[in-house]
Amino acid sequence: MSEIDKQKAMAFYNPKGLVAAWQQARSPAFMGKKGRIATLPDIVEARLASYPGTFAWERYFTTLSSEYMGYDQSGNRILIVAHGIGPMSTLDGILKAYSFEYNDKARDHRGGRITEQQFRDLESGKYGKVEIVDLEEILRWYKYPFLQGLNSKEALWEPLLRARLGRHYDDYIERHESFAMDWHKTKGHETIIDPQIIVMGDADNCGYADYVPKEGMAIAHLLAIGGLTETSFFGNNFSSLVCDINCHEWSDGVRLAGVRNGISQVKYIHPGIGDTFKLIERHWRALLRTVKEPPKSGFHPMMKLDKGVWFTQCAKKGDGMDTYEPEFPISSFKCLGQPVRFTSEILGYYGFYKYNARSLRILAPPQANSYYLVGEPKNVSGDDGPESQYCYVQFCRSEIDYSQRLIRESQLANDPYLIKTLLEVEQEWQ
């Protein structure tokens, strides 16, 4: 069994969002034939088994715990918290709930939704054990609901926080309180015996105080927990060591933790893949592929990886932005003259630098086959705002190896077995 196979849980982040991260996390390459996505109580267990500075404490996680807001049989607004069960316990269920927002072409919808019948089924226990919290009571308790930092004593009696954190709630609050007190000492603050440790939020774009579900629906979100951060609160003379626990909005970044089959208690979360582009930078030699029909020539934008290795960039489509994805390796290059100022019209939004590569090539010396941008593009203002853009360009003559091409980031992201191989290599190096 490889070192990767021995890991009980692994983190999966994908810049393309929840679906891509979910597919990676559920891949048999990492999860075995069966497994699960970590709930909020799973993340709590991983933190209780480790210390600040470790991956579990320092990163945010989107979890398979879900929270729903609707009306009970008496007409009171309540919150229902479910861990790994219910309408949003599967990818299809999650997408169906959030489609209320992302399928709305008018962009007026906020948050996810389930049906009133699903909400009733949750309330009655049809899906399994859930926690039910009186929302109106919580709104009365706080001057600024879902915005305040809770100190450790407040956190211990907070019913919604208890429902969210789950079975090891008291242990978690005690552990975080202890870490926060030690942190204040190292910062030279006055002695703090009741530190602020938690920001309990809702959804920024669908706040519980203002939004009410339409008839026949209930508001629905996954729950997320943030990493430890140094945060200042109004009225305090010093910052605090806190984490936020709130609702996952569809546009938020996604980091899931996949738990292997048969693991009842998560004690460690492997950092996992992280950014697939960084993985390409670390292992680019192993990711070169032979080109069956190499191009004879071209005119390419260049880019440099962190290791100082130069590549051509994958071609962009039309008058768009550079892709900044490496393609053909460059063994050497020679700069031709000094950087040249290139001025172009604004193609779309002035905050993005898009340009016509054909217009740029007109400025290049005849022997140039590549170039790179020098410095940041700048806008030229007119009477009615930015009217053009310019950037300095260095033209080059490069020795380009067209016989091999680096695989695309999307290819790597969709090949969990290749990713696993690269991670196993890294384990051997450590």
The H or E element spanning position 340 is: strand 340-345
CA 269 to chain centre: 16
* pTM (two decimals): 0.80
Going by C-beta distance under 8 Å and a sequence separation of 6 or more, which residues neighbour residue 333?
302, 310, 370, 396, 397, 398, 399
Tell me what pLDDT residue 7 has.
63
Instruction: Kindly report the number of other CB atoms within 10 A of residue 285's CB atom.
Output: 10
Domain boundaries, given as residue ranges, for the chain: 3-274, 295-402
Instruction: Kindly report the number of other CB atoms within 10 A of residue 216's CB atom.
Output: 10
**Pairing between strand 326-335 and 131-134?**
unpaired
Closest CA to 31 of 5, 61, 64: 5
Q: How far apart are the first and last CA of the chain?
A: 17
CA distances from 353 to 51, 218, 369, 378, 388 (A): 43, 42, 21, 9, 10
Tell me what pLDDT residue 430 has.
44
The values of phi and psi at residue 197, to 5°, are -130, -20
Q: Can you say whether the dihedral through the CA atoms of 248, 212, 165, 185 is positive or negative?
A: positive
pLDDT in tens, the chain (430 residues): 555 555 688 898 877 789 988 988 888 888 777 789 999 999 999 999 999 999 999 999 999 999 999 999 888 999 999 999 999 999 999 999 999 999 988 888 889 999 999 999 999 999 999 999 999 999 998 888 898 889 999 999 999 999 999 999 999 999 999 999 999 999 888 788 889 999 999 998 889 988 888 889 999 999 999 999 998 877 677 889 999 999 999 999 999 999 987 777 888 898 887 778 888 999 999 999 999 998 888 999 999 997 789 999 998 877 788 999 999 999 999 999 999 999 988 877 778 888 888 889 999 999 999 999 999 999 888 777 788 899 999 999 999 999 999 999 888 887 888 988 888 877 655 4
CA distances from 203 to 105, 132, 207 (A): 21, 18, 5
Tell me what pLDDT residue 361 has.
92
